[in-house]
Structure 1
Amino acid sequence: MIDAPYAFAEQLEPGIARLLARNPSPFTYFGTQTYFLGERELVVVDPGPALPEHVDAIIAALDGRPVAAIACTHTHRDHSPASRALKDRTGAPIIGCAPLALEGIGPRADASFDREYSADVVLQDRQSIDFDDGKSLVAVATPGHTSNHLCFAFGDALLTGDHVMAWSTTVVVPPDGDMAAYMQSLNLLRERSDRIFYPAHGPAVTKPAQLVRGMIGHRMQRERQILRLLGEKPRDVPDIVANAYPGLDQRLVPAAGGSVLAHLVDLQRRGVVDEGEGEIWMMLPRHD
């Protein structure tokens, strides 16, 4: 891993800056990226994990400027816990996604939910807040990674949280992660005309439409792969993962299993596969 500019706010373009938290992992890349929107009055997006050094770095980056709101895309622990310390130190309200404290099937491999998160204002799809002399932050509902996930539109830039990232596919783990909802949310973004995506982990996406099309294609290819494997014989999730992800880093196996399960649950709802005894999945007969 190369050195990352922790504790340093990088100006990406007028009105948008980024600060990297020191929480690198296979699921966070170099860490969670906290964004500062505005110039004289700011909105802080995804304040990140409750690391005192990161909260101190956020305060330093504010440089005395007022905070209109602290916005959270979703409530995994690498995104929202610092909102409380930041609210205490700035007096700004916490806005954005709704509270959610569900756990996946089995231990989560990416990040568990922030059970203490509480929003002063929950934004619904297309709701907005105005700040910094006429600028707006607009919520874009994008369930899938989690049911409460929001992206935030700021002019022609979209802050995508964990919904779309350039360096990795998004983890979708039932019961809260929902593959059908995730695909619908990808299609929603495909129909937008955003100039650039700023994800919570990894580099900016300068060709958003191209990346989203590729992500949709990847998920459709993964579905076909799962169906091909089940067409050979009934299988459980670990067997599917072993065959669909050869040579996968063992740290990522639980996440891959969650995504496979999300595909299977979606296919089950569509009447294509079903789960038998012993968590064995099988193809259903077609009735053409």
Structure 2
Amino acid sequence: MTSFAKEPLQILAPNPSPLTGPGTTTFLLGNAHVAVIDPGPDDPAHIEAVARAGRDRIGHILITHAHRDHSAGAARLSRLTGAPILAFGDALAGQSPLMVRLAQDGLAGGEGLDHDFAPDQHLRDGQVIATPDWSLTALHTPGHAAGHLSFQWGDRVFCGDLVMGWSSTLISPPDGDLGDYFRSLERLTALSPRVLLPTHGPAITTPQARIDELAHHRRQRTAQILAALRATPDSAAGLARRIYAVPEPVLPIATRNVLSHLIALAQIGAIDFTGVLSIETVFSIP
């Protein structure tokens, strides 16, 4: 009998892309009592492979956040195994009052949101899920998504899309929030994990160095945006074209990231804008 109680089994979904890297990694943790973390997209062959690997012992399906590349396969896996689905909430759970208001004002978003997702059980920040095989602590770590959870397992953390080794994560308001992202990075730092296990890409064995690198990258991006606005007022779309050296198909992703910086800067009064906030809203230095 194959055991993966000490090391989680990893099954890679066939969904590589500019946002998912090599694809979604589905983790199976435990032996007699198996937890599945992020079943991935609703790909029948992938979900059936996960169910087979669980050997009829899957008792928990844990979701880091309700994006289709993480959560869409959960319902199919639950039907195959009878296991409940646990998550922070649905695709909109956890949004701050500001992001709710921006969405109500018409700020478009929703890239990849799994609007059909409905967990069987909602997890609280700090809630412990335990079996004789393993114990996980749910940590609310918003930033990439408002309802994003990480799962602490001893000195390791399953960190979803909060920290990835191959790329920085997309922060796309109103679903993502740059201020929350920095606070979540600080929370990971306080935990001092030995290893981070992201859902896309390989394990991160030098967590603090990677966290510092990502935070520095975001601060540099903020500095670039402010320098560009000092030269001339511009929109998120215009700024992305000016400061990102990326292929045209990737510019919409860059634009959403720029917008997250602009909203954070506007919150602290560093920049101004008039009218309803959108991708085309023009921002300026006061």
Matched-pair identity in %: 36
Q: How does 1:10-159 map to 2 (within 5 A)?
A: 14-64=6-56, 66-101=57-92, 105-106=107-108, 111-131=111-131, 133=132, 135-159=134-158
Determine the structure 1 residue equivalent to 2:97.
Answer: none
2:218 and 2:236 map into 1 onto residues whose CA distance is 17
- 2:281 maps to which residue? 279
Structure 2: distance between partners of 1:219 and 1:11: 40
Distance 2:192 2:109 in 1: 37
- Distance change in 2, residues 1:213/1:11 (3 Å): farther
Summarize the Cα distance change of 1:242–1:78 in structure 2 as closer, same or farther, 3 Å threshold: same
SS in 1 for 2:79: helix
Amino acid at match of 2:35: V
> Where does structure 2 lack aligned partners over 5 or more consecutive residues?
94-102
Task: Give the alignment of 1:199-278 within 5 angstroms.
Answer: 199-246=198-245, 248-276=246-274
The ranges of structure 1 where at least 4 consecutive aligned residues each deviate by more than 3 angstroms after the TM superposition are 10-13, 101-108
Question: CA shift at 1:135, angstroms?
Answer: 2.0
Q: Deviations over 1:108-129 (max 9, x none)?
A: 6xx4211121112111111011
Aligned length: 270
TM-score after normalising by structure 2: 0.89
Alignment partner, residue 170 of structure 2: 171
For 1:126, the aligned partner's letter is G
2:69 counterpart SS class = coil
Which is worse superposed, 70-79 or 273-282?
Answer: 273-282
RMSD: 2.0
Q: Any stretches of 5+ residues in structure 1 without a counterpart?
A: 1-9
Output the CA distance in 1 between the equivalents of 2:221 and 2:36: 36
2:100 equivalent in structure 1 = none
Distance 1:54 1:147 in 2: 27
Q: Residue 261 of structure 1: SS of its match in structure 2? A: helix
Which residue of 2 is the match for residue 3 of structure 1?
Answer: none
Aligned AA (1:118)? A
Contact map agreement 1:190 1:213 (CA 8 A) in 2: no
1:14 to partner: Cα distance: 2.1
Shift in Å, 1:134: 5.3
How far has the Cα of 1:60 moved from its partner? 1.8
